[in-house]
Amino acid sequence: MLYAVLGDIHGNLHAFEAVMADVDQAGVDCVLCVGDVVGYGAYPAECLQAVRDMEATVVAGNHDWATVGKIGLDYFNADARDSIEWTQEALGEGELEWLSGRELVWTLDDITLVHSTLFSPEYFDYMQTLYDVRLSFEHMESHIAFCGHSHVPVMFFDGDPVDCFLEREVDVPPDRRVIINVGSVGQPRDLDPRACYGIYDTDEQKVYMRRVEYDIHSASESIVAAGLPNTNAARLVLGR
């Protein structure tokens, strides 16, 4: 089975379409998404529709839940708050209802999806330290888990100590649990502005991190034209 694992699309249709073309070319069987389909970008409705059309399994991100009022806006910085309020106006009732129905954690067989951490998914904390990673491993019931939220691709192997990898391709060990942050489709923050997502090959037990070129200039222009914060556009160019 070949899974594409996407995250943090953030209304960036230009990046999303480029990634989906790459996914099609890779011959993926199923698409999974670790949340934040909306926020920051100018095409939230279009990205939501594309995700629904492909029947992807999607968990909720903090921007998704904030857009439907499940968490407050005090948690966000000014640009993020403005983007969420804009997104709330841009989406219709059916789109908001669909977003509201996304769960925080999804597990099937040996795969878990979550946006942030497994120890407190409802608080949308970041896995910023190895202690945070250890806590998530303690709450993990599957062999492999995929997350997002930080917009930075990184892989963790359970053990003493926990191992951390930044490689673009890793073998998934059969005797160690694995947490993989698949980076961001729509707003990468690892100084590489190309869209990022993961492919999980269950037959080969490998995970590949893929980077995809897209029309960043047009995506940035669409953000400015929509009246969203200019910072959102600048971050696409800088990859941070």
* CATH number of the domain residue 77 falls in: 3.60.21.10
Residue 109 has pLDDT above 90, yes or no: no
Domain range holding 233?
Answer: 2-238
Can you give the pLDDT at residue 75?
86
Spatial separation of the C-alpha atoms in residues 23 and 170, rounded to whole Å: 19
Residue 160 has pLDDT above 90, yes or no: no
Residue 164 has pLDDT above 90, yes or no: no
Mean pLDDT, residues 162-191: 93
Q: Is pTM beyond 0.85 here?
A: yes
Residue 190 has pLDDT above 90, yes or no: yes
Q: Pick the residue with more confidence: 4 or 108?
A: 4
Can you give the pLDDT at residue 128?
82
Distance of CA 53 to the CA centre of its chain: 18
Residue 161 has pLDDT above 90, yes or no: no
Can you give the pLDDT at residue 136?
96
What order do you get walking across the sheet with 178-181 strand by strand? Answer: 105-108, 111-114, 144-147, 178-181, 154-157, 163-165
pLDDT band at residue 167 under the 50/70/90 scheme: confident
Q: How many domains does the chain have?
A: 1
Residues 130-144: tens digit of each pLDDT:
899 999 999 999 999
Residues 28-87: tens digit of each pLDDT:
999 999 999 999 999 999 999 999 999 999 999 999 999 999 999 998 999 999 999 999
